[in-house]
Amino acid sequence: MPELPDVEGFRRVVADHAAGATTRRVRVRDAGVVHGSADAFARELTGRTFGRPDRHGKWLVVPTGGRFPELLAHFGMTGAFVWGGTDEPDHRHDRVVFEFDGGALRYRDMRKLTGLRWARDESEADDVLGDLGPDAAAIDRDDLRARLTRSRRQLKPALMDQTALAGLGNLCVDEILWRSRLPPDAATTELRAPEWTNLHRRLGAVLRQSSRVGRVPDRPSWLTGHRDEHDGRCPRCSTALRRGRFGGRATVWCPHCQPG
DNA sequence: GGTCTTGTTGCACC
DNA sequence: AGGTGCAACAAGAC
């Protein structure tokens, strides 16, 4: 689930409930989701006042105290930040629980992929975030074009390359390509100026609308609303949707709207 | 049983 | 060199 819009939702959870509050206890229920020592993680983040959370791509960065140590959170495919009462029973997939005076922030994740880390300084934060491209929600058209045309590659894998631009995942990219009427295997170097303008505009619209609700909506008017259907049809032209794999990811597209 | 999964990493291969 | 494909990670759905 978690792509840029989802992480934007988790950012709001932290901003609305945990920012300005001080951690009284940090419970690491599953050391597997914490990078490095679980004891050090809990110790370093206990008694810290959370600051304003920031999102870069799919990473959420929460400063504590003045700035460091920073909490760095990644949500893999199934993770989430959930706010609730301190007295609520733990969900079985609550891997780490940050307890504050007024409630608890729960890092809930079914699978356990990347998880939580902390950085003691700029250099350690850079070890995690340094290779990321600019955030997909803030990139301008010319930068988008420049970063995706450094070499000839398929458009879908290029958009999902977090070092090119950060934040887009499988669902976002299929939605953006469908709205842009571009096939997933279009060569980035073959696109012309009007197509870049259009792609940039659609990308922005998908991210804005999705971020507002904290997920890529599965409304009937969106391609995403039909990707799990057996006999899915294009919401624009009713053509049977096609399925395949690009960049190793399950891909859905409309062969009529997105001709190859 | 087998296959699939919205993310990332590391590796082999070209 | 850099794009591409794949397995691995873990747990669940079908």
Give strand C nucleotides closer than 7 A to any protein Cβ: 2-7, 9-12
A53 in catalytic set = no
Confidence of residue A6 (pLDDT cuts 50, 70, 90): very high
pLDDT at residue A227, rounded to an integer:
86
- Residue A123 and residue A177 share a domain: no
In contact, A64 and A48? CB cutoff 8 Å: yes
- Residue A180 and residue A108 share a domain: no
Instruction: Flag whether pLDDT at A170 surpasses 80.
Output: yes
Nucleotide nearest to A250 (CA to C1'): B5
Of A90, A109, A129, which one is at a domain's C-terminal end?
A: A129
Nucleotide nearest to A152 (CA to C1'): C3
The secondary structure element, H or E, covering residue A194 is helix A193-213
In contact, A141 and A194? CB cutoff 8 Å: no
Q: Choose the weakest-confidence range: A188-192, A244-248, A255-259.
A: A244-248
- Residue A116 and residue A165 share a domain: no
Distance CA A1, CA A10 (A): 12
Does strand B come within 7 Å of the CB of A74? yes
Q: Give the total number of structural domains in chain A.
A: 2
A2 in catalytic set = yes
Of A75, A100, A129, which one is at a domain's C-terminal end?
A: A129
- Residue A189 and residue A125 share a domain: no
Query: For A229 and C4, how far is CA from C1' in angstroms?
Result: 29
**Interface residues, strand C, Cβ cutoff 7 Å:** A 32, 77, 92-93, 110-113, 150-154, 157-158, 246-248
**Of A3, A8, A44, A70, which one is the catalytic site residue?**
A3
Check which CATH number belongs to the domain holding A117 and give it: 3.20.190.10
- Residue A8 and residue A114 share a domain: yes
pLDDT at residue A1, rounded to an integer:
64
Query: For A115 and C14, how far is CA from C1' in angstroms?
Result: 27
Of A95, A129, A163, which one is at a domain's C-terminal end?
A: A129
Domain residue limits at A22: 4-129
A112 in catalytic set = no
Residues A15-37: tens digit of each pLDDT: 999 999 999 999 999 888 888 88
Does strand B come within 7 Å of the CB of A129? no
Distance CA A19, CA A22 (A): 8
A55 in catalytic set = no
pLDDT at residue A114, rounded to an integer:
63
Confidence of residue A110 (pLDDT cuts 50, 70, 90): confident
Give the distance, in angstroms, between the CA of residue A96 and the centroid of all CA atoms in the same chain. 19
Nucleotide nearest to A113 (CA to C1'): C9
Closest CA to A72 of A29, A25, A126: A126
Average pLDDT, stretch A213-225? 92
- Residue A81 and residue A27 share a domain: yes
**Sheet-wide strand order for A25-28:** A25-28, A94-99, A104-109, A79-84
* A259 located within any domain: no
**Of A11, A48, A55, A58, which one is the catalytic site residue?**
A58
Q: Choose the weakest-confidence range: A64-68, A98-102, A226-230.
A: A226-230
- Residue A185 and residue A80 share a domain: no
Instruction: Flag whether pLDDT at A135 surpasses 90.
Output: yes
The amino acid that residue A226 corresponds to is H
Looking at A214-246, list the stretches that DSSP marks H as alpha helix, in order from N- to C-terminal side: none
Q: Which residue is closest, via its CA, to the C1' of C6?
A: A248
Query: For A50 and C10, how far is CA from C1' in angstroms?
Result: 30
